[in-house]
Amino acid sequence: GDLATKVALRALLDEYEAAWCSPVKLEVLGGARREERRALETFFACIPYVEVREAEWDAAKALAWRARDSGSTLPWNDFLISATAAARGWRVYARDAHYETLAGLGGAQIYRPGYGGSYQAEAEG
């Protein structure tokens, strides 16, 4: 990824505000270049993992239906990631515009880094 994304991700990790689920791991590692794979495996071993529960699969399906009914066709794993985060009250840090659409359909809200990629706590109220 680009430098701004790496800095923002590092800030989330430093604040213990990062977690992943299996679709995230597949998305990142599935597209990793051979020379990056070992480092990424180590990286994921240090971040808390959350299991995708049956209720989140159902929430992802509902998101997919709302998206389709509104004319949007999005990758299935984005529905699952957004539904998993939303169920836990978490924001999603993604550079993919699909997550803006999902937030508008009831999925997880978007995490926006602070100045220079610094950690940005959720706004109160």
Is pLDDT at 9 greater than 90 in this prediction?
A: no
124 domain-assigned: no
pLDDT value at position 115?
A: 92
125 domain-assigned: no
CB contact at 8 A, 12 and 119: yes
81 domain-assigned: yes
60 domain-assigned: yes
35 domain-assigned: yes
123 domain-assigned: no
Whole-angstrom Cα distance, residue 62 to residue 35?
38
Whole-angstrom Cα distance, residue 91 to residue 35?
30
pLDDT digits (tens, 9 = 90+) for 68-84: 999 999 999 999 999 99
Average pLDDT of the residues of the chain: 92
Whole-angstrom Cα distance, residue 112 to residue 95?
10
What's the domain count of the chain? 1
43 domain-assigned: yes
Q: In this structure, what are the phi and psi dihedrals at residue 94, rounded to the nearest 5 degrees?
A: -145, 140
**SS3 (DSSP) at 105:** coil
Q: What CATH number does the domain containing 72 carry?
A: 3.40.50.1010
Is pLDDT at 21 greater than 60 in this prediction?
A: yes
Domain span including residue 57: 3-117
Adjacent-strand bridge partners of 49 = 20
pTM, two decimals, is 0.88
Whole-angstrom Cα distance, residue 36 to residue 95?
20
